[in-house]
Amino acid sequence: MSLPEYNLPWIDSPFFNAELRDSKLSEEDKAFVKHFADEGYVIFDPKIEESEIDLIVAELMPKFNKLETEDKRIQDAWTFNERVRKIASLNIVYEKLRLLYKREPFPFQTLNFPVGTQQNTHSDMIHFNSIPQRFMCGVWIAFEDITNDNGPLHYYPKSHKLPFYDMIDMGVKASDNIEKKKAMMVYFENYELFIQEIINALGLKKEVLNIKKGQALIWSSNLLHGGEHILRPGASRHSQVTHYYFNDCMYYSPKYSDVAINKIYLTDLVNIKTGEKIVNKYFDEVVNRSTKLQFQMQAVKMLSKIAPLFPRPIVDMVRSAIMR
């Protein structure tokens, strides 16, 4: 029996095993896709020239050195560094993502790191989601050898099969206070603690990623992952993450959205490879961003800049009026 194409990634389809069995893929490709579907991640070698990696590290070091915050990442270095853009647009990565999702991918964000993030465990879906869901993934490429000493990535195999937990599951109205959400307070106080409680309750087993320079990890949007502590003080951990969506979806940030009350924060995206602006689509129909929600976001941002000039009660009253 021939199964139709459904509006979800085939790796997440209840018919996946039958589709994979009947596919004309090579045994190598079947094993690759099967591992990703079962475990939520897969490791491969994108065959990047070592000299190209070294040039990216050297070119970004002056910018890393100027960062004064603890978070040393550079977001969207592709906008000024052509080598970063090329890494995000590698043909071999496109081929692997088409194989895994049966849909055309596009890179929309890069993150470059000089050191380990030591980030708490999370799912990318709270930051980046799509309608239909789960058409998003990340690709992490090591720019040096990664060991237990220099803050490697950690992840929980099979955790991508868990339900997607939205802010509403934590009792938080995501759109209630955009400014506070921007400050990440609700996220840290609710979401990350919630995820850790799930890990503890289900007894999920953590794995740590030790890989060689140039190797890559693809992970599912809902795979729980984070960064290990840096055991060797001063150790570098150069790497690049590229986040990918797939064509013909709506793209939104659940962290800022309350879908139930029609407040969905659609994101402005650019295809890193082509430079073209991405259009949100729902069954081939173009979906425009919510004018009201975008106005609220802009108004609250402007209010934050002038807030120190006015008494706190007045600022709170104006903010409350904006967010109604």
Percent over 70 (pLDDT), the chain:
85
- Taking only the tens place, the pLDDT of each residue in 42-99 is 999 999 999 999 999 999 999 999 887 777 899 999 999 999 999 999 999 999 999 9
pLDDT score, position 212: 97
Quick one: which of 259, 294, 299 has its CA closest to 173? 259
| pLDDT tens digits, 100-131 | 999 999 999 999 999 998 889 999 999 999 99
pLDDT band at 191 (very low <50, low <70, confident <90, very high): confident
4 falls in which pLDDT band (50, 70, 90)?
Answer: very low
Estimate the crossing angle of helix 291-306 against helix 312-322, to 10 degrees.
Answer: 170
Q: Is the pLDDT of residue 34 over 70?
A: yes
- Residue 307 — very low, low, confident or very high, per pLDDT cuts 50/70/90? low
| SS3 of residue 159 by DSSP | helix
Q: Which structure tokens are listed for 196?
A: 């850790």
Look up the pTM and report it: 0.87
Q: 252 vs 64, 134, 191, CA distance in Å?
A: 29, 12, 18
Q: Which of 78-87, 129-138, 311-320 has the lowest mean pLDDT?
A: 311-320
